[in-house]
Structure 1
Amino acid sequence: MDLSALTDRRLVLAPGDAGYDDELAGFQTGYAQRPDLVFTATSTDDVVAAVTYAADAGLPIGVQATGHGLPDASAGGVLISTRRLDEVVVDPAARTARVGAGVRWGQVVAAAAEHGLAPLNGSAPSVGAVSYTLGGGLGVLAREFGYAADHVRSLDVVTADGAVRHVTADSEPELFWGLLGGGANLGVVTALEIGLVPVTRLYGGALAFDGREVDPGAVLRAYTAWTETVPDEVTSSLAALVYPDLPMLPEALRGRYLLTVRVAYTGAAAEGERLVAPLRAIGPAHEDSLRELPYTESHTIHSDPDFPHAYYGESRMLGALDGDALERILALTGPAADRMHVVQLNHLGGALARPAANAVPHRDAQWLLRILSPLNGAGGTETAENTAGADRAVLRELYAGAFGEVAPHVLGRSLNFTFAGGDRPEGLYDAETHKRLAGLKVTYDPANLFRRNYNVR
């Protein structure tokens, strides 16, 4: 395939070209990406050209919008950068939004809010809306409305044969099923049409306890007991971490070991106050930001970091809880650890357990357990990559011990919260879902071009 037209428009970049490194830069800095060519797509036609070129040359394809969920370091092949496909169009009458592949959730939240609506976004406004949704999408309102993937009306996708397909549950039901939950395995999704919900405000925020002043085990037990009493309209999580003693952090956080309960509730503020009263009774709070807030401020509930950095992380979907095992995990990752680890426990159930026409698995899980750790070394140089590789080995051993504590209750892993490198698909899907996805691979990507991901082979 002749790339001269795209090259003349500076839409194809090779190592050494001006802009090559900038195009590869993303949120995750721990894994080096050094493709032979980067296609900087500004239209669906550019994506078709990239896929056709890669297919003709037999090259693997990776896709990147914001770079939050890179599966691993890689060299060679083709990377399709979709960040410029960033159009958002809201249809207030239909309560839908058309979202381009490069759109971040903050853009969708702002556009929907103008019409008294909200998307089923995650906790971080900088995350790409499309890639998040293709992985399932566990959002701020998840227990009330389910996964973001459950609310997709249609997808525009370029498959390995270079065809542009408008896919709905009626037009191509099996492909529709596999795209939603299958990540980037079946093609390059250039746009989604998603359903919106009539939410303009929340009762929510964070309630943090100092783990050196309040028993961490007591906080954990009180939180998990509390979740048994709340309605599906309450979505919550518990996070535990030791903040480093660094000057760039607020004085109130430096060196603190905080256990923070994050809450989002769509009901009335007065009822929200009643619901959280047992949490406030746990003990003196280091921080209490529970309040009524506009949905446009929903990201402040979690206050996720918004700057690029190197990280390693894994997850387990749990069918039940073992409180003693969780306390041992907190001890392993808390103040006695040699670095900061973020442990998060998400309460699932509610609408997340309802069946849907997509490949999002493990719907019988009651909890999601996540651990995320800063990664020493960044993937931009060979020396840094070697450092990061050695550090990943250390973290892999620690995580094996931590997740081993809850092994009897593990149903699998979560695609959206797997940052461990190695593109391992094990545990991401149950056996039947994996079999169906593998069958779709044979049909739509028999050469496995789309393998720079958590690859279903």
Structure 2
Amino acid sequence: MFSEIASKPLLSVGARGYRVPMPANPPALSPDLVAALASRVSGPVLTPSDEGFAQEVAGFNLAIPLIPDVAVGANSQADVVEAVRFAAANSLPLRIHATGHGTHHPISDGVLLVTRRLNAVSVDPETRIASIGAGANWADVTAAAAPHGLTGIPGSSVTVGAVGYILGGGLGPLARSHGVSSDWVRGFTVVTASGDVVEANAAEHPDLFWALRGGKGGLGVVTEMRLELVPLESVYAGSLFFAEEHIEAALRGWIEWSSSADDSVTTSVAVVNFPAFEAVPEPLRGRRVLTLRFAHPGDEAEGRRLAAPLRALAPALIDAIGVLPTSQLRLIHNDPDEPGNGWSAGALLNDLDQAFADALLAAVGPGTNSPVIAVEIRHMGAAAAHDVAGGSAVGGRDSGFTLSVIGVPDPSLFDSVLPAFHAGLLASLDEWVSPETTINFAGDPHDRESFESAWPPLIFERLDAVRRLYDPSGLFTYGPPAG
């Protein structure tokens, strides 16, 4: 049964990306300007009328239209430099696109720099450092690290760009045992708004290094990062699935259990409404279930001991927890790997109790009717609560849990129905919602207040200063405008 469940991507329960505002009157680009740029770039330079443009700019969320004035497909760091200098010289906003998971808002102007061709990954097994190109995803990193008995500390999806994920901090299936993913970065190569190439690490440009570990965007184009890997070949991990009649008992039991959970164990729960599609495994097809994800970076005997209280919460419809190679960490959450329409939103939560369970079950529990595929809660704390030496720009470390809402992938629901449901859910959970979030779980922070709440005030102020220092003209359009 584990292989049947593991082989089928089931759903996505991670909030993605951030909003970028649109300039009111973007400058026109003449064919001569575009031709001049193309003569200096080895990769494709395409405008909306060119063949191949749609394929070049396509993102993971197909509901978001991406129609920049010009798309530059970088083949090299030199191409990135040329694109940045071109955008600056022509007063065009520049946005960066690797795998396309980070786009929540339409793009209708400027330069879209596509970095997916910069996907080289190399591993030094002696130092355990992986050098990761701007366009590499977690599957690329895993493929390079696994032969050496090493793993990165990834997110839940292997198709997410490694650099983009890390820039937002990153809370994955090993967060409690190994911390926020960006804590493992040891350096970045960055093209700044001036078109200069700089190294950002603990010794060089430490202010930029601090900001890039959790500050997300508006700082430059990362062309490569150096990430420390972990010597870990297997974990005891996977998922339990509880049928609808056991959702309440399993959710309440997990909340109670999490208050004293071992720091080595990372778990999450999601109430999922599986569609009646043939691609969904038969035991889950057309059913509402609670899935409980579990990960322990240790041996099977200890893993079984730690998982036993969760297995005892209620009879499991499916028990898919077992020894899992770290090369297969993606199977814990089993996110989809094909593009499609998507809507998600998120928040962070403080400590939970049974009154929280009452409110959540009233919204998405058995017998309810809502326009969502899933509502997921991830347990934070333990190692994820502790910042690295020298500090980082990661927001939300003091919160206890994450909340993600994944809407039915029907674009007709995206503008009003799903936002209204999410607002109502947050209102019902207001007692437990943290005043701050973290940028990878913020969904689309469409106003300045929600954008700033992705970081504690002191971190946001410092981030704002670093952005203004390295990008004084706001070339790297990022976040809703102030004022």
Q: Is structure 2 residue 154 aligned with structure 1 residue 121?
A: yes
Q: 1:331 to 1:45 in 2, by over 3 A?
A: same
**Which residue of 2 is the match for residue 383 of structure 1?**
none
| Displacement of 1:228 | 2.9
Q: Which runs of 5+ in 1 are unaligned?
A: 378-386
Q: Deviations over 1:338-388 (max 9, x none)?
A: 4333111111111111122210012111111111113423xxxxxxxxx4x
Work out which of the residue numbers 363, 373, 385 in structure 2 matches 1:353.
385
- Matching of residues 18-97 of structure 1 within 5 Å: 18-97=51-130
Q: How far 1:440 sits from its partner (Å)?
A: 1.2
Encode CA deviations 1:308-346: one digit per residue, 9 max, x unaligned: 122221211122224323432233234522433311111
Residue number in structure 2 paired with 1:132: 165
What is the identity, as a one-letter code, of the residue corresponding to 1:75? Answer: S
CA contact (8 A) 2:69 2:109 kept: yes
Question: Is the counterpart of residue 168 in structure 1 residue 168 in structure 2?
Answer: no
Give the match's secondary structure for 1:114.
Answer: helix
> 1:304 is matched with which residue?
335
**Structure 1 residue ranges (4+ consecutive) displaced by more than 4 angstroms after TM superposition:** 452-457
| Superposition pairs of residues 148-163 of structure 1, within 5 angstroms | 148-163=181-196
Per-residue CA deviations over 1:156-204 (Å, capped at 9, x if unaligned) read: 1111111111111221111111111111211111110000011000101
- Pick from 451, 454, 457 the counterpart of residue 428 of structure 1: 454
Higher mean alpha-carbon deviation, 252-261 vs 314-323, is at 314-323
Letter of the 1:319 partner, please give it: N
Say if 2:372 is the partner of 1:364.
Answer: no
**Matched residue of 1:33: which SS?**
coil
Given that 1:187 and 1:450 are in contact with CA atoms closer than 8 Å, whether structure 2 keeps it comes out as yes
Q: Which runs of 5+ in 2 are unaligned?
A: 1-31
The aligned counterpart of 1:445 is 471
Q: After superposition, give the CA deviation of every residue in 1:38-77 in whole Å (9 maximum; x if it has no partner).
A: 0100111111111111111111111111111213112111
Q: CA deviation at 1:2?
A: 5.8
Query: Does structure 2 retain, via aligned residues, the 8 Å contact 1:322–1:406?
Result: no
Residue in 2 that maps onto 1:413: 437
- Preserved contact between residue 362 and residue 411 of structure 1 (Cα < 8 Å): no
- TM-score, scaled to structure 1: 0.93
CA–CA distance in structure 1, aligned partners of residues 240 and 363 of structure 2: 23
AA matched with 1:104: N
Measure the CA separation in 2 of the matches of 1:125 and 1:55: 33
SS in 2 for 1:371: strand
Please report the RMSD computed on the Cα atoms of aligned residues, expressed in angstroms: 1.9
Aligned to 2:290: 259
CA contact under 8 A between 1:240 and 1:330: conserved in structure 2?
Answer: no
| Change in 2 beyond 3 A, CA 1:52/1:326 | farther
Q: Which amino acid aligns with 1:339?
A: P
Alignment partner of 1:241 is 2:267: no
Deviation at 1:137, TM superposition (A): 1.1
Partner-residue secondary structure (3-state), 1:397: helix
> What is the rounded CA distance, in whole Å, between the counterparts of 1:44 and 1:453 in structure 2?
25
- 1:339–1:400 distance in 2 versus 1, CA, 3 Å: closer
Give 1:151 shift. 0.9
Question: Does 1:333 pair with 2:357?
Answer: no
Q: Identify if the C-alpha distance between structure 1 residues 293 and 391 changes in structure 2 by more than 3 Å, giving closer, same or farther.
A: closer
CA distance in 2, matches of 1:427, 1:165: 29
Q: Which amino acid aligns with 1:38?
A: A
Structure 1 position 26, deviation (Å)? 1.8
